Amino acid sequence: MNKYFKTFLVGATFAATTLSSSFVSAQSAAIVCPGYKRGPTNIPSERTGKKVQKAFEAYNEDLVDEALSILYEIDTSQAFDRAFTDRFIGNLLATKSETGPKALEYLEKSVDSKALNDTEQSGTLRLIADLNMQEKRYDTAVKRYQQWMDFTCKEDADVYLRMGQALYETQNFAEMIAPLDKSIALDDKPNKNAYALKLTSFYSRKMYKETVEVAEEMVKIFPDNKANWTQLGFFYMLVEDYKKGLSTFEMAYNQGYLTKAAEIKALTQLYATNEIPYKAAVVFEKNVESGLIERDDKALTNLANSWHQAKNHLKAAAYYGEAAKMNSDPDLYRKQGTLLLTAEKYSAALTALQKALDEGADDRGRIHMAMMEANFYTGKYREAYKHVLEARKDKSTSRSARSWAPYIKEKAKNHGITL
């Protein structure tokens, strides 16, 4: 900003001392309105010019306060001299962060008098708008930017972007789109801030279809920006386009763009939603092992569920058991035991199922039925019969247990075992 202000000050000094051909040409370039004709160029009177020159010399030696003291002493009734001096004072005050509002007072007086030369009027209008942005006077900033465009007949990508930003700050989300579209159209190089603001406008108004369209455009224009990929993926999830969401997250993952636990979890969720549980389990397991995803009971339960859906019963059982040890959840022990039973790991199944009972599992009838099966298939008919009798006490398993009881008795009798 200081460099910007110094440019103004250098221009002011040139005007205060002499008119070069380059300055005259700058006067003309400040306005591009059709049919515009440059009027006579004013310069400060000799008395004012000398004081301005002296103030500028002090400024060049970083003596800003001394320069301001000289300018404050200028007393003139000439409109141009007054406007010129006020502009110079405003420029100097603008270089001091704590004097922004005071700088605006002087700068606004200088332009409101309409006594400045066109190039000075143009530059000061633009500076006033920028200072209002800096001071968070967003409504005034928008008006001043519009005045600058009306005065110069110029359109500028950065000005439109600043207007969009100011409208965002005042939550005028719908009004943001027009200046942002103009900024995008005028800019030689795509500006990610313009697109980000446009996306925010649509998202804030719950216009999710348009939000997705902007997010898609951002990925195409800024493909190396990691955040754009995950952002688009999450927006696809928001509109329940899970196939596109998965393809987006998968491409981001393959490029190494997913670096947060929440992003990996979103990818695995999308694999599961699209009925690809094996990939969900593999990706989730890899990132648990790497430490990106914390190895807590919740993560391990999710991992167990993924392997369960992928029909890898032994892996699922192992993770259910590890999670159960962390939180003593009887239902996790029950799931572990049931899967071990399915995998014909009867001894391990009985251990897990007994832990489920010891931890106070609610679904005791089903657990006793599972323990009955594990004992039955290993020839432990007395133990099987004990569990089937317990299962008969539970309404939910009573009927099934009654049908199993005589069968167990018969098998025991065939093996010479008395129950």
pLDDT surpassing 70 at residue 9? no
pLDDT category at 29 given cuts 50, 70, 90 is: low
* Token reading at 265: 């979890």
Q: How far is the CA of 356 from the CAs of 95, 187, 320, 330, in angstroms?
A: 73, 66, 12, 4
pLDDT surpassing 80 at residue 27? no
Q: One-letter amino acid identity for 128?
A: I
Average pLDDT on 301-314 reads: 97
State the Cα–Cα distance between residues 9 and 15, nearest whole angstrom.
10
Where is average pLDDT lowest: 6-20, 206-220, 226-240, 402-416?
6-20
State the Cα–Cα distance between residues 101 and 304, nearest whole angstrom.
62
Q: What is the pLDDT of residue 7?
A: 43
Q: Which residues contact 174 (CB under 8 A, 6 or more apart)?
A: 201, 205
pLDDT category at 97 given cuts 50, 70, 90 is: confident
Average pLDDT on 154-166 reads: 97
pLDDT surpassing 70 at residue 395? yes
State the Cα–Cα distance between residues 137 and 129, nearest whole angstrom.
9
pLDDT surpassing 60 at residue 170? yes
Which tens digits make up the pLDDT trace of 113-125?
Answer: 999 999 999 999 9
- The single-letter DSSP state of residue 107 is H
* Token reading at 211: 């939000």
* Token reading at 87: 């502009």
State the Cα–Cα distance between residues 209 and 203, nearest whole angstrom.
9
pLDDT surpassing 90 at residue 213? yes
Q: Are 151 and 137 in contact (CB under 8 A)?
A: no
SS (HEC) of 281-306: HHHHHHHHHHCCCCCCHHHHHHHHHH
pLDDT surpassing 70 at residue 379? yes
pLDDT surpassing 50 at residue 260? yes
> What is the pTM assigned to this prediction?
0.82
Four-CA torsion 220, 226, 227, 233, nearest 10 degrees: 70
* Token reading at 46: 């000799």
Of 357, 364, 374, nearest to 396 (Cα)? 364
